[in-house]
Chains A and B, each alone.
Chain A
Amino acid sequence: MERFCLRWKCLWDSQRPESSSAFLLPHDRLQRVRTLSPSFQTDNLPGFVNFSWNASNPNPAGACANVTPAPSMNYTGSVANKSNDRATGSWSRPLPGGGTLSGTFTLDKNPRDIPINEITNAVGFSAGLLETVAQFRQQLVAGSGSSDIFKGRQVTETTGAGPNFDNCRVEGVTSVPRYAINNARWNVGYYGGLENWWVDDYIGWNTTQVNYYRTVLTPQSFPCGAQLPQAMVIAVDGSFGSTTQYKAHPIVVQTDADNGFVHARRCHPSESLAVNGI
């Protein structure tokens, strides 16, 4: 996270302090103020991290090109973990004749960090009612090579474009809904030591649903399955719902008849799981 301070740029300031002749705006001169780390996270919910910094002892201290630097400048704000690309807060500085001038600011990270790829790792089938549901664990890949730049970000699945069918379901007859994208959301780096990873995408029908299909469908109906276009988006622009798509691929689930196989695939055929005897 520490590198992002270097690339932040001031987009907007209320009561821009440089309108005062006594102040030299420090925004564009921010250098590695400190390392910011995402706060405590609750899965699926964004957290935030607070920061404050103080600019003092300007050099030169005296008037320079008709501008006299303020003796100090304080910034206090927070960065929402959801997108990690926007800080909002307030600033204040002393006025030469006494008193304090203050205002609010918004800083946007520019350019934003968008994954250039996502690596899917097939982990295994789950347990209990989810014994027929496969788990996939994803690693976001940064263009910079950073292994932790996405920690604290939120990713969400959406329905993309492409083949979208469920041929186990008999529309209007069977009571299992069409297999669909749930618009699920994950916090990246939620598990310690897996900073650019999000854990886990559960893919497949649960055992009740698999057994239901095996009960009501004819043997000739198998294998049956579903394919969905999963588009992954990552939160940007603060915490207000803006997202950018960074990956799209198919999800495939398939089941055979009685005690046959259950198969789940996320992304490429090499990123799939199959289990027999369920």
Chain B
Amino acid sequence: MNRCQLVVQWTLVIAGGLASSALLAQKQTIINVTEHRPLWPALDQMEQVFGSAVNYEDVPYEHPDDLEAVTDPRVRAYIGGRPSRVPRKGTLVVAFDDSTSEPARVTHLNSLLAAYRQAGLPGDFRVEIANGMLYVVGTKVKGTDGRLRDLISPMSIRVDVPFGRRTVIETVSLIAEAVSKAGGVRVLVGQVPFAPEVVSFEARRETARYAIARLFREAHPERQTSYRMLYDTLVSSYMLNLNALPPTNAPAAEGSAGVPQGQPNGVSKWLNPIQR
């Protein structure tokens, strides 16, 4: 099923319009996705092009215009007494050049969001830069009354996480629990590609967004990780999925917040070294 396309084209640009001018080879990337949440796969592809993380915070789709019935027979027709509906599918096409500096990445993301608006897809989003990371954050959604209403993303909620040495998944769970309590919306912890890592971590009145970004750096300073905070209309909850980008070829950093050599990190009941 070819629903997502990432096309890279090389375009020759004649500088100055003169035949004698230098020919500049400019790579152009075209993203073409058709999905129920097209920003999700589009941002996955942009991360590959950028070689750096872009976080995504979905909007809580609620108006019938923004939803459509699930037709796949594998999905229950009714969940929790409600008919199964998912975000309306749409197509998103955007083209951008190969520059990947931070200002260029912001420009490319804004182009993506402009294309999203132009396509009339659900909700609205903005680009945010903080803590050396990029975020695409939901800002508006069509309410049940049919009007576009402002939205404060749950990841903007300030959270407290007491100091402790925990696994990354335990720490993410604490942040998700704090957001759920304060935000009145359930945040489930989905994919966490960090199972065994233990990190010393504390957050005090820090937005969940920045706390998680900082956790990524402290747990895996050499590795780019992003999150996808997806609103799941089937269970009326957010699913917080972490996404590890492939490692780069750069030399890995020395030193980290790992556990001392030879010490079980306590992640599970199985980690005591086995006897041979």
Contact = CB atoms under 8 A, between A and B. Distances in A.
B188 A240 contact: no
A194 B263 CA distance: 12
28 contacts: A43-B259, A45-B252, A46-B252, A47-B254, A123-B270, A124-B269, A126-B270, A127-B268, A129-B169, A130-B195, A137-B274, A171-B3, A173-B75, A175-B230, A175-B232, A177-B190, A182-B193, A182-B244, A191-B262, A194-B273, A194-B276, A200-B270, A206-B189, A209-B190, A212-B239, A216-B84, A221-B74, A241-B247
Contact of B273 (A46, A121, A127, A192): A192
Nearest to B238: A175
Interface size band for A:
35 or more
Contacts of A221: 74
A217 B73 CA distance: 9
A186 B80 CA distance: 42
Interface in B41-84: 70, 72-76, 79, 84
Contacts of B265: 43
Contact of A172 (B36, B193, B260): B36
B37 A202 contact: no
Contact of B241 (A46, A123, A175): A175
A200 B197 CA distance: 11
Interface of B is mostly: loop
A172 B89 contact: yes
A193 B264 CA distance: 12
A191 B192 CA distance: 23
Interface of A is mostly: loop
Given A172-B35, A173-B72, 16 more contacts: A42-B256, A43-B265, A45-B253, A45-B255, A45-B258, A126-B270, A135-B268, A175-B190, A175-B234, A176-B241, A177-B243, A183-B244, A191-B264, A199-B273, A216-B84, A241-B250
A212 B232 CA distance: 10
B255 A172 contact: no
A218 B73 contact: yes
